[in-house]
Amino acid sequence: MRNRVTGAIAFAAAAALLLTGCTGTSNGGGSASPTSAKGGTLTILTQQTQINLDPAKSQNLAITTLGLLVRRLTTWDIQAGKDPKVVPDLATNTGVPSDGGKTWTYTLKSGLKFQDGTPITTADIKYGIERSFAPELSGGLSYHKSLLVGGDTYQGPYSGKQLASIETPNATTIVFHLKAPYGNWPWIASMPAFAPVPKAKDNPNTYTNNPVASGPYEVKSNQQGTQLTLVRNKYWNQDAVRTGGPDQIIYKESQDVSTSAQSLISNAGSAQDSFMADYLGAAQLNLVNQNADAKSRLVTSKAGPINYLAINTTRGDLKNLKVRQAINYAVDPKAFIIAQGGNQAAIRATTLITPGIPGRVQYDLYPAGEDGNVAKAKALLSEAGVSSLNLTLWTQNDASSQAQAEAIQQGLKRAGITVTIKPMDSNTFYTEVTTTNASYDLALSSWQPDFPSAAGNIQPLFASDQIGNGGFNLSHYNNPNVDKLIDAAQATIDQSAADTQWANIDKKIMEDAPIVPLTYARQSFLRGGNVQNFFVASFPAYPNYLKVTLAQ
């Protein structure tokens, strides 16, 4: 029986990643000066109306909001111009595997304390992970739930039960027992649920408002929908990835993106000490590009989430490989990029593994030029014996998604393929496309891995056990040989060897053409003039909040 590992719905839509992370810059670095000045009040402007601070319910990236408040066993070392690395955080190393990779052991560093000065123990980490299994705390990143022995039936600690596959033989040692070898476990141990939670301070209904801090900041006040204020945690010990620069960090919530952009463009008053958590849309980018000073403060990722056209491989003529290949050639990449906002917002995609992920190998199995290759598409349809193809395309109903769907529609029309667009609101779209018997032919979606490994690009989107039931194999792609290769790559402890395996799987999947890779999104963020160390590395496509400082 295959190991089911589910990712995060939030990462399927780039627009849903508002307070999660950042990527490479247009100039390769952004404002990543080596200074580590202390002091000042940093303001983060966000359109989010609620920030979930409960580690069990969070899908936050390790380098953004929650990373300021809580530490985990491991974390991400994200630096401008360098590949992402997993590094120790609360633990002394990234984990010691045994039993062929089915058992992972960690030892805590000495002197670790919560914000009230009490010691952090492995019992706090075990309890924090266990509470993530509770139904009332669902919604967070859930990879560990399917990997740990007994995780498929465990319902959390609130009924008095513990998860036996997490052992804490003493206050500084914690041992995890997995169902099968899993080489990426050090990345899993960096996820929010691996933050310590003191059982005596836990209330599942209110913990999200004021979690007990283990990072450089603690919550001073939290008015959901209005403002979150963080101040220094005096018991935090300087660690390798967090600068702890500002004395205070204020999140201003429910902010209009256009208004925030205008404020930062002007760079007056408190705007000088602020940055936007939301990436800029085409209208805001246009305004920034007209202002030389603001343009100098813009940071743009080299590449981020992959936008793709899922082809439902179980539907009619789409079962035919030549038809799916024809669609890959018929799509108009140039028109799709224009619909996304142009070259500053997207670059052409040809691989499943996104840029910035270690081990990625560039290739293009369906070279079609900037505008597609209509003649090649028609020839493949003729070889398949298909003369009339009518397809439904599901997409979200926002203006950007509909413009992108229309670009797909007009591109395929050139090859004689008729596309009917069915727009729907975001919640309905993701509910419907992840059902087992979804009736779409094509679906527009996007995906950013939850951690910087090719496993995060491949397994959630193409393993057969991710079809339906909330899974994101939107192509309903089912190739037993690929499933075996995915299992083997996941079980490989040597990550260099695993990278080679994932690159081979990438190309093998595209030989079956279950999707059309369209673009890698380029995301742009704007900072005020006093904000320093504001950069986007090769992964993820968001700024590293943990490094940001203010000019003193």
Helix axes 454-462, 480-491, angle to 10 degrees: 150
Q: Distance (Å, rounded) from C-alpha 79 to C-alpha 547?
A: 9
Nearest CA to 147 out of 179, 171, 121 is that of 179
What is the fold, at CATH topology level, of the domain defined by 306-521?
Dipeptide-binding Protein; domain 3 (3.10.105)
Please give the structure tokens belonging to residue 522: 């380029």
pLDDT at 476: 97
Residue 37 pLDDT level (bands cut at 50, 70, 90)? confident
List pLDDT tens digits, range 316-358.
999 999 999 999 999 999 999 999 999 999 999 999 999 999 9
pLDDT at 24: 30
Mean pLDDT of 79-90: 94
List pLDDT tens digits, range 374-389.
999 999 999 999 999 9
Residue 18 pLDDT level (bands cut at 50, 70, 90)? very low
DSSP state of 280: P
- Tell whether the model's pLDDT for residue 451 goes beyond 80: yes
Name, in order, each residue with C-beta under 8 angstroms of 320's C-beta and a sequence gap of 6 or more: 384, 386
- Tell whether the model's pLDDT for residue 22 goes beyond 70: no
Mean pLDDT of 512-539: 96
Residue 13 pLDDT level (bands cut at 50, 70, 90)? very low
Which of the two residues, 107 and 20, has the higher pLDDT score? 107
DSSP state of 9: G
Helix axes 374-383, 321-330, angle to 10 degrees: 170
What mean pLDDT value characterizes the chain? 92
Please give the structure tokens belonging to residue 212: 């007990």
Contact yes or no for 173/103 (Cβ under 8 A):
no
- Tell whether the model's pLDDT for residue 544 goes beyond 90: yes
- Tell whether the model's pLDDT for residue 28 goes beyond 80: no
pLDDT at 91: 98
Q: Distance (Å, rounded) from C-alpha 546 to C-alpha 66?
A: 10
Please give the structure tokens belonging to residue 281: 């849309």
pLDDT at 161: 97
Mean pLDDT of 101-121: 98
Which of the two residues, 224 and 483, has the higher pLDDT score? 483
- Tell whether the model's pLDDT for residue 30 goes beyond 80: no
- Tell whether the model's pLDDT for residue 492 goes beyond 90: yes
Contact yes or no for 352/346 (Cβ under 8 A):
no
pLDDT at 474: 97
Percentage of the chain modeled with pLDDT above 70: 93
Mean pLDDT of 442-469: 95
